[in-house]
A = this chain, B = another copy of it.
């Protein structure tokens, strides 16, 4: 039984807490921290978590805590990582690690030095659809990949207050797609070219960000990739991938709440796809933790490491630079 402490009781912290309590038999949650103590207390009460605190350091000080799950605000991640590593805790950290590469590097170094494991929360790698794509590539079901196309559209933009501190769409939203691109193709991206604009909400533009983008990727192995982002797909969460290769192609569809189709005198319709990530990716959040637990139990490498977390941030920076400078940008410029 692994004893887990959760740092951050916001939406994603609560989600992990619930999964750790109810869905993952090998773990128990021994404490939860949040700077807003009431948030920690509310979750603790609901899930029978025996300890709450406003100061995560109290959790790190507990010798019976084996694992910390870091779900706090992005700008606190690296500090907590470093302290957790020093305390010898195993670390699961939400994405992005940080928006500063130097801070990320410091965190990765601390983890390395402490000899603990750290998994980054790129949960989409564990989604059954995308996992199936990766399996198909590994098996060569479509031959050698030539093209990757990722569609990743949110149902609605986040609050403007969030947009302003998010670091921009490329490191906040596209970051998942950058990781997906690397995961699926199994090769590094060398160059990025970005077309982007403000099409959803002028206020997002006024805040210095974009809300719509087409990001093209040139992989080291020759694959050409593209990522299609929008902050607002009115029909719901649009999360699809197509990989085309010498032997065929694989396409994934969205997930739907049911498999019913209705034909009337007007048209043939079905209900909208699952609306957002809590529904669409619910299983992947369980699976990523199971994978982490498996790495801890059998002392295996984690499935998504710190370097993966770093690389996705680099790609986000390159995408933004390409957009601002209106030219292809090589990742080694970052």
Contacts and interface: CB of A to CB of B under 8 A. Distances in A.
Interface in A221-249: 222, 224, 226, 228, 230, 232-236, 238, 244, 246-249
A146 B235 CA distance: 15
Contacts of A226: 214, 216, 226, 228
Nearest to A326: B328
The majority secondary structure among interface residues of chain A is mixed
A295 interface: no
A212 B223 CA distance: 10
A147 B228 contact: yes
A252 B248 contact: no
B264 A255 contact: no
Given A214-B216, A224-B197, A261 B255 contact: no
Nearest to A250: B262
A42 interface: no
Contacts of A133: 260
Interface stretch (A160-168, A268-276, A313-321): A268-276
8 contacts: A147-B214, A149-B149, A196-B224, A214-B226, A234-B264, A250-B263, A254-B259, A267-B272
